[in-house]
Amino acid sequence: MKGKKIIHLDDVVENKDLKESIVEQQITSDFVLELYEKSKKLRGKKKKECLAAAELLSKHVGKWLVK
């Protein structure tokens, strides 16, 4: 590997700033629409929670949901 320098992650970012997570799903407009459609079938508190989640996620389309 002549002319190439290997850079280790520890040299760039301190480990205390990183947190390992599992990616669940990318937030897409279709995913938000599915939540909205699901909320139509629900009632009461569950419906409000589902609508609130859809509204919140609609502001973050293109990002990722992680565990």
Instruction: Report the predicted TM-score, pTM, of the whole model to 2 decimal places.
Output: 0.66
Q: Give residue-wise pLDDT tens across range 38-64.
A: 999 999 999 999 999 999 999 999 999
Would 12 be classed as within a structural domain? no
Would 28 be classed as within a structural domain? yes
Would 5 be classed as within a structural domain? no
Range of the domain at 32: 23-66
- CA 54 to CA 52: how far, in whole Å? 5
In the chain, the number of structural domains is 1
Residue-wise DSSP of 12-40: HS-GGG-----EEEE--HHHHHHHHHHHH
Would 18 be classed as within a structural domain? no
pLDDT exceeds cutoff 60 at 7: yes
Structure tokens at 33: 């629409």
Find where tokens 């508190």 sit. Answer: 45
